[in-house]
Structure 1
């Protein structure tokens, strides 16, 4: 299904907004934080979307998902990963994670909200929970949220 993973281009903005906004609603609904929803246009600068690398996945001629993150001293941190909800369970998220992980010499870390179904996805890719914390919700600090820090060590199996 994936035809290409490539660096973000400015012309991709409308597509990543569409994908983020639909998927973020599902993410927050699962975490019981739907009232904390803000769209990508309202949060991308404060949350540093473009502080690192941004990659998009194309499938069947359209943008199907995107990932943002950074690599420092070989270790990677995924800060954003969103897939078009209509394309869940078709390998888009897996392809993005594996593309990013292949660029890292060490571990890959990310955070996921408690209650987000994506935790099962990440664990199937070899991530394990390293910590659970409660604090301000990134992007909408007026809300408190609990999140899990997940880490995949280099060489971890990704079924």
Structure 2
């Protein structure tokens, strides 16, 4: 099993859309419900997927995950369900955290215990919990946990 992280290329769009659309359903199933699902094509522009840097993870040559990072915030992290619990999310997260010089923030939906566990195991601390419109489908209400990672000073 070989995980490689590289910069997103336009040719990755179909894989990234499949990853998001599959994993987002799992994320919503554990939180606000799948009724809130909108596919990536409907949300990527308004949610600013490409506002910052985007990296993809390849597992044995297949794109199976992606992460987006903008202004010291992890804005997107998704791993295709076939690659859950194989180190892909951790590799993507470490790719960002290894480059961080300032605190890094992210929000994880309440109920997404696997993702929260990963973030906590990498040193993120719960900063605040908020309830409000679900990012990506504001007609639904969600509770999110804002977590912060503070890099060690060298």
Q: Same fold (TM over 0.5)?
A: yes
SS of 1:35's equivalent in the other structure is: helix
**Does structure 1 residue 142 correspond to structure 2 residue 139?**
yes
Distance 1:61 1:15 in 2: 12
1:20-68 C-alpha deviation (Å, 9 max, x unpaired): 0000000000003211000000100010000000000111110010000
Task: Give the aligned partner of residue 8 of structure 2.
Answer: 8
SS of 1:143's equivalent in the other structure is: strand
Task: Give the aligned partner of residue 92 of structure 1.
Answer: 88
1:87-139 C-alpha deviation (Å, 9 max, x unpaired): 11111011111111111112111001111121111111111110000111100
* Ranges in structure 2 where 5+ consecutive residues have no aligned partner: none
**Does structure 1 residue 106 correspond to structure 2 residue 102?**
yes
Distance 2:74 2:8 in 1: 15
The answer on whether the counterparts of 1:2 and 1:92 sit within 8 Å (CA) in structure 2 is: no
Distance 1:94 1:62 in 2: 17
**Does structure 1 residue 121 correspond to structure 2 residue 87?**
no
The answer on whether the counterparts of 1:2 and 1:91 sit within 8 Å (CA) in structure 2 is: no
Task: Give the aligned partner of residue 153 of structure 1.
Answer: 150
SS of 1:141's equivalent in the other structure is: strand
The answer on whether the counterparts of 1:56 and 1:63 sit within 8 Å (CA) in structure 2 is: yes
Distance 1:103 1:8 in 2: 17
Task: Give the aligned partner of residue 40 of structure 1.
Answer: 40
Paired positions, count: 152
Normalising by the residue count of structure 2, what TM-score does the alignment of the two structures yield? 0.94
**Does structure 1 residue 83 correspond to structure 2 residue 79?**
yes
Distance 2:146 2:78 in 1: 17
Distance 2:148 2:119 in 1: 9
Distance 1:116 1:3 in 2: 23
